[in-house]
A = this chain, B = another copy of it.
Amino acid sequence: MNIGILGLGLIGGSLGLDLRSQGHHVIGVSRRESTCQRAIALGCVDTASVDMTLLKATEVVFICTPLALIIPTFEELITHLPSTTVVTDVGSVKAPIVEALSPIWENFIGGHPMAGTTENGIEAAMRNLFFQKPYVLTPLATTPLEAITVVEKIVQQLGATLYYCSPQEHDSAVSSISHLPVMVSASLIAACLSENPNTLQLAQKLASSGFRDTSRVGGGNPELGVMMARYNRSCLLRSLLQYRHNLDEFINLIDLEDWATLEEKLQLNQQVRPKFID
**A positions within 8 Å CB-CB of B:** 114, 133-134, 136, 161, 163, 165, 169-170, 172-174, 176-178, 180-195, 198-199, 202-208, 210-223, 225-226, 229-230, 233, 236-237, 239-251, 254-255, 257, 259, 262-263, 265-270, 272-273, 275-277
Residue of B nearest to A198 (CB): B169
- Known contacts being A178-B210, A191-B239, is A202 close to B270, with CB within 8 Å? no
Contact B251 A241 (CB under 8 A): yes
Contact partner of A195 (CB less than 8 A), chosen from B172, B183, B240, is B172
17 example contacts (A-B, Cβ-Cβ < 8 A) are as follows A163-B202, A163-B205, A163-B206, A169-B202, A178-B206, A181-B214, A184-B214, A185-B214, A190-B250, A194-B242, A213-B213, A222-B269, A225-B262, A225-B266, A237-B254, A240-B251, A244-B248
| Min CB gap A58→B, angstroms | 29
Contact A269 B206 (CB under 8 A): no
Residue in A205, A244, A259 with the greatest tally of chain B CB atoms within 10 Å: A205
Contact partner of A247 (CB less than 8 A), chosen from B181, B244, B265, is B244
Residues of B within 8 A of A273 (CB): 189, 215, 218-219
Give the top 10 A-B pairs by smallest Cβ distance, nearest first. A219-B273, A222-B266, A181-B214, A190-B246, A191-B243, A207-B276, A173-B202, A187-B247, A177-B207, A173-B203
Contact A177 B163 (CB under 8 A): no
